Amino acid sequence: MWPANRSGFRSPMTLLDCSSPESAIASLAALLNRSEATIRRQLEAGDLDAYGMFSGRDNREIVVEDFLGVSGGTPSAHEIHWFHATRVPPGTTFSEGLLPLAEVEPRLRATLDSLSTDLPSSRGDRNSALQYHNKLANPTIGGGPCAFLIREAAVRPGGHHIAFAECPEIAKDIAGMRFDRASAAELLRRFRAATKPCVVTFRTRDPCPSATESAALYAYLSIHDPPSAVAVGAGFSGRGRAVPPEDIVGYEFLDGAE
């Protein structure tokens, strides 16, 4: 196994891609200089249940150190792919990259305004207004753009993950603070009809050992407990900074994700 260099990377150039369990295993194999069969065999042999709830160790740590036998620190891939789920007008090409909330919000608000001209005025929900203002007031927390390491979490979220491809949070906040429940629901129905669900793949090239650990846990759970694999919490936040267009790997409109 190659040692990590001072930047935390391993050579040669490696990609961490969790678009599927198979790609995650292939990425781990390349990163650890082993065959995919070896990685799969090591993960199949591991048993998290044997450690119990009170082991005092994170499951990611157990999978990486005990099942995969990594020592001396978790390596990071040179390039990591992330998956951003959203809804956009047909024909969107992401030529500007992925913009932070502060730049997206005025455009989204204008779209919602155009879709609600005939809706009766009504008092909205105070909690929606609070959520809206908190997101805009704290760009390093809620400013995005945000993404998942695991594509399945973006496309078919479960557990605590939000279905961003069904409707962005900020759209729900705007509708909820402007209208009563019935009118807000109608506005969001119109918004979904006017937009398409989409997942955007982009790359980062900063060291991120925690992404490797999450990928290992995802691969392990995909073998032992597939329904829970999507719940592996691993995400990216731009903290109010855009993802530049040159880092967009691709995008896909999702059929049947309405």
pLDDT category of residue 12 using cuts at 50, 70 and 90:
low
d(CA 254, CA 258): 8
Average pLDDT over residues 56-61: 92
**Structural tokens at position 46:** 């591991």
CB 203 within 8 A of CB 249: yes
The confidence score (pLDDT) of residue 3 equals 39
Q: What is the mean pLDDT of the chain?
A: 89
Partners of 224 in the β-ladder: none
Average pLDDT over residues 44-62: 91
The confidence score (pLDDT) of residue 20 equals 96
Average pLDDT over residues 53-76: 93
CB 233 within 8 A of CB 180: no
For residue 60, CA distances in Å to 5, 34, 70, 167, 219 come to 22, 19, 12, 31, 11
Task: Kindly give the residue spans of alpha helices, DSSP state H, lying in 73-180.
Answer: 101-115, 126-137, 139-142, 151-155, 169-178
The confidence score (pLDDT) of residue 158 equals 62
Average pLDDT over residues 173-202: 95
Cis peptide bond upstream of 207, omega within 30? no
The confidence score (pLDDT) of residue 165 equals 87
pLDDT at 116 over 80: yes
Cis peptide bond upstream of 89, omega within 30? no
Secondary structure tally for the chain: helices H, strands E: 11, 6
CA Rg value for the chain: 20
Of the CA atoms within 13 Å of residue 230, those in its CB half-sphere come to 15
The confidence score (pLDDT) of residue 159 equals 55
CB 14 within 8 A of CB 78: yes
pLDDT category of residue 258 using cuts at 50, 70 and 90:
very low
d(CA 249, CA 98): 12
pLDDT category of residue 157 using cuts at 50, 70 and 90:
low
Please report the beta strands in 31-101, taking only residues with DSSP state E, as ranges in sequence order.
79-88
CB atoms near residue 44 (< 10 Å):
12
pLDDT at 257 over 50: no
Q: What is the pTM of this model?
A: 0.89
Average pLDDT over residues 18-43: 97
pLDDT at 97 over 60: yes
209: enclosing H helix or E strand: helix 209-224
Residue that is written with structure tokens 């759209």 in the block? 171
CB 108 within 8 A of CB 89: no
The confidence score (pLDDT) of residue 141 equals 75
* pLDDT (tens digit per residue) in 213-230: 999 999 999 999 998 888
d(CA 27, CA 230): 18
Out of 128-132, 175-179, 198-202, 245-249, pick the least confident.
Answer: 128-132
Distance of CA 158 to the CA centre of its chain: 12
**Percent of the chain whose predicted confidence (pLDDT) is above 90:** 72
More confident residue, 82 or 126: 82
**Percent of the chain whose predicted confidence (pLDDT) is above 70:** 92
d(CA 33, CA 206): 20
